[in-house]
Amino acid sequence: MAKVLMVLKVLVVVGMVVVMVMEIVVLVIVMVVMVIVIEVVFVVMVVTVLMVLLVVMVVLVMVLAMLIMVLEMLTVIMSVMFGWS
């Protein structure tokens, strides 16, 4: 009976260790998955922000170009009008 009890004790200890290792492994896997998901979301957010910034910059450049063209047209028109007058 003593041998059986010893074997049972060893089995219980081994089972507890295995359960603890499994829990640690599961925790590590969950943490890694969370980190990967957070990184992916962060990268996607950064890329979207950069794309929006690029679009805004392009729009601003186009608006500036339009303003410069309008100003040039106005100056030409003004110079022509005052030149004629």
User: Does 18 map to a domain?
Assistant: no
User: Does 61 map to a domain?
Assistant: yes
- pLDDT tens over the chain, length 85 residues: 788 888 899 999 999 999 999 999 999 999 999 999 999 999 999 999 999 999 999 999 999 999 999 999 999 888 888 876 5
User: Does 81 map to a domain?
Assistant: yes
User: Does 17 map to a domain?
Assistant: no
Q: Quick one: which of 14, 63, 29 has its CA closest to 71? A: 63
Q: In the block, which residue shows the tokens 């507890």?
A: 16
User: Does 22 map to a domain?
Assistant: no
pLDDT digits (tens, 9 = 90+) for 22-34: 999 999 999 999 9
User: Does 84 map to a domain?
Assistant: yes
Domain around 74: 56-85
Q: What is the pLDDT of residue 84?
A: 65
**∠ CA 28-34-38, rounded to 5°:** 145
